[in-house]
Amino acid sequence: MHFGRVIGTVVCTVRVPSWKGHRTLLVQPTDSQGADSGRPLVAIDLTSAAPGQWVFYVRSREAAAALPDPDNPADAAIVGIVDSAREWPWDEAARAGPP
């Protein structure tokens, strides 16, 4: 899964039948702190996300599998809205726990 921020909507006059009823949104990929990372992408919205919201999305086959009809051409799908995120260091000391 990847973090991103919704930065706009994408309007399609024609779309594949398996996307019927789902919006397409423009997402700016971000890191776990919310800083931009990479180029914007278009994702199918499965969560009713709004512009400005921090979301997480899946790519590739996981995106297609997130829709009811898994035989669709989706390359990215928004699967959650992020309320907050914490990051802990991952090293030997962290795995060992308190002394």
Q: What is the pLDDT along the chain (99 residues), one digit of tens a residue?
A: 899 999 999 998 888 888 888 999 999 999 988 899 999 999 999 999 999 999 999 999 899 899 888 888 999 999 999 998 887 776 655 566 665
* Number of neighbouring beta carbons within 10 Å of residue 31: 13
Structural domain count of the chain: 1
Output the domain CATH number for residue 74.
Answer: 2.40.50.220
Place of tokens 């260091």: 89
What gap in Å lies between CA 4 and CA 78, rounded to an integer? 9
According to the model, what pLDDT value does residue 96 have? Answer: 60
* Structure confidence at residue 68 (pLDDT): 85
Residue 9 lies in a domain: yes
Residue 98 in any domain: the answer is no
Helix segments in the chain, DSSP class H = 61-65, 92-96
